[in-house]
Structure 1
């Protein structure tokens, strides 16, 4: 089984946070979390936080989890700003990365030590194959770590293991093939409901029992991902000389404490602080437990920031093609009605033989154009047209 691949998606969890509320009449009211300010979700209006004391508290907290939408340049800028502010108060910091499996820890070490150039690093860390999001979104953070000799920590497992769980379930994986990961803590009822909503959007089965089996395996693969990262975090956080550990992860693994925080608590790790960016969701989302704090981002900057062409799928190598394992919400693939299980055979008239073929074709796609995709679905071939959004108007 070859590793799966994230091909740029519009949201890991469908969680770009915040909204602009309209006052009575035609006048716009101020956002419930001002741009550039921290706030704590409450039962009423979000509670404003003084950034100085708040950052001091975070720097002393042990574990800080920073959420992101992987393709958002503005959210990565916020992450870098927060990392810099925390490093100024606590130089003994380590940055944990969802994007890198543990087997490539030595590559991160060599990058931080200054032994690799950008191209060498991206090749050695298998960026396009394993992660696939535009590296330009992450390189400022990676350079910040190297300039300040801040260690980088690989958190994840190989995608091949996650793929096997998606196909066969956790119980079918032999102990020796689990990469040392223990049994995940079961998902809470609320997390199951959250995941069921995401699963139902993109998995339409003719057989209800088959659909339920797919959902159970989807949950198990999600819990594996959460558990793998949590175990690595706990391993570092529970050392006597533990640094401040700041983790970069998709918001879907953090929101409401469902994913990584839930697994950390089961492992007896120190309490983690969850911080999420806020820009374009209703303020009704900001309830106690949503996150420890949110940071207001400019919704215009979020919407208008230039981004590379993205399809919005999770891919796996398949003999004679590439299989779509997951379709992300609000993505180009979602709008084109691509589905998990589809085998990509051709893109723009060219045969597809590898994940790299898909990555290269999508990255070449101009804004506002259509990409013809030939897929095989349940033994039948069909043509799907994926429309990429136009460039934002100046």
Structure 2
């Protein structure tokens, strides 16, 4: 079995036979293999090949280590299936990531049928709905209603239903890993110590995050500061003393750490009570570089987790630094090119006592162009009240290219009317 921090499935730079890669230029990380096989040179009178797009870092359909070097075995799933905890990362809005997760689950199940599947998508209160789904007591629409899916998650359930069907078909336990978003938002606002233990949804004290994780979260926050955070982060030009820690940044890091701890605790509980290997499906930001959930699992006595990521064809090769994941799987170009992309407003929302609030506005998106800002409270869209994130998600997904969505917001106690303009095809 290979180390959870660096798989012992070693790259093979000179295999006896060339790997089954598509008939396209070899990725630059396969250069060593190409040199072992030999390479011809073009004559001056031969036509030059047409320019091609940059090759993928990891050949589509192949497994590689955290540096992008192809693994010797055709599939490492047999050895991965021996781990007590297997973490499958995703970017939530990418259909190919969810397809990869399903195929990976099927492969793991073939080697180890004693699996449980953990889902970041649902909070702990949705566990009864998951249990009834696996037992066959709910159809899909009843399950989505019972789990409150659209309110607590918001991403298209069609991305995840194939995985849920696989679990039910094979009677695999499903585990709700998350907590209410209001708990995370409250931690970011007031701090973990200010929340009474009886209101923490059973979450224990997190392990202190690593310095690298703190740095990454601080950079993420700095890229999208709210007005309050920006004002607190202004340096004191009248003094040479080092600036004190930004309280907003400290609470943000604390909130993320609590979030990671909550999911790690559910994974650890499922492992210990069932004895099954737990395959957790969650956003890659919670697991890369073994920060976040893997770090909290180690503190809970489960250091032997393994991190798997899908690797998109267009993703930067420099990110394959040997630490981002234990194993990666190469994906081809995004599928379904004829299907228009789903409309996106480009915001992250949180639910507070005052209503639905914009936590973050993504750069270059529709929301940024419309003038929405972090801290704005959403009151209505297209004249319909926004009481939960799902209300806005449903309206946005019905927008067609080139249409406008009127928005009513409240900012600094003042009601404003804005228009989100979705680009034409």
- Please report the TM-score for the alignment, with normalisation by the length of structure 2: 0.79
Give the CA deviation at 1:156: 1.3
Q: 1:252 aligns with which of 271, 277, 285?
A: 285
Written as runs of structure 1 = structure 2, the 5 A alignment for 1:14-33 is: 26-33=51-58
Is 1:272 the counterpart of 2:284? The answer is no
Q: Counterpart of 1:207? A: 231
Q: Distance in 1 between matches of 2:350 and 2:122?
A: 17
Written as runs of structure 1 = structure 2, the 5 A alignment for 1:95-110 is: 95-110=117-132
Is 1:262 the counterpart of 2:284? The answer is no
Q: Distance in 1 between matches of 2:321 and 2:337?
A: 24
Mean Cα deviation higher: 150-159 or 115-124: 150-159
Q: Counterpart of 1:128? A: 150
Q: Distance in 2 between matches of 1:270 and 1:318?
A: 35
Q: Counterpart of 1:218? A: 252
Does the 8 Å contact 1:203/1:339 carry over to 2? no
Mean Cα deviation higher: 300-309 or 244-253: 300-309
Q: CA RMSD in A?
A: 2.6
* Largest Rg, 1 or 2: 2
Does the 8 Å contact 1:74/1:305 carry over to 2? no
Q: Counterpart of 2:405? A: 371
Mean Cα deviation higher: 153-162 or 142-151: 153-162
Give the secondary-structure state (helix, strand or coil) at the position aligned to 1:47.
coil
- For residues 232-259 of structure 1, what are the alpha-carbon distances to aligned partners after superposition, in whole Å with 9 as ceiling and x for unaligned? 11223345x5112100000110111111
Distance 1:156 1:356, change over 3 A: closer
Q: Counterpart of 1:159? A: 181
Mean Cα deviation higher: 92-101 or 301-310: 301-310
Give the CA deviation at 1:288: 1.4
- For residues 119-158 of structure 1, what are the alpha-carbon distances to aligned partners after superposition, in whole Å with 9 as ceiling and x for unaligned? 1000000001100111111111111111111110111112
Where structure 1 has 5 or more consecutive residues not aligned to the other structure, the ranges are 1-19
Q: Distance in 2 between matches of 1:357 and 1:29?
A: 41
Written as runs of structure 1 = structure 2, the 5 A alignment for 1:11-90 is: 26-42=51-67, 46-50=68-72, 52=74, 54-90=76-112
Q: Distance in 2 between matches of 1:315 and 1:344?
A: 9
Does the 8 Å contact 2:289/2:324 carry over to 1? yes
Give the secondary-structure state (helix, strand or coil) at the position aligned to 1:97.
strand
Where structure 2 has 5 or more consecutive residues not aligned to the other structure, the ranges are 1-26, 32-48, 235-244
Aligned residues: 367
- Bigger relative contact order (CA 8 A; separation at least 6): 1
- Please report the TM-score for the alignment, with normalisation by the length of structure 1: 0.85
Does the 8 Å contact 2:182/2:352 carry over to 1? no
Does the 8 Å contact 2:294/2:303 carry over to 1? no
- For residues 241-290 of structure 1, what are the alpha-carbon distances to aligned partners after superposition, in whole Å with 9 as ceiling and x for unaligned? 51121000001101111111111112221411101111122101001111
Give the secondary-structure state (helix, strand or coil) at the position aligned to 1:315.
strand
Q: Distance in 2 between matches of 1:108 and 1:229?
A: 16
Give the secondary-structure state (helix, strand or coil) at the position aligned to 2:409.
strand
Give the secondary-structure state (helix, strand or coil) at the position aligned to 1:245.
strand
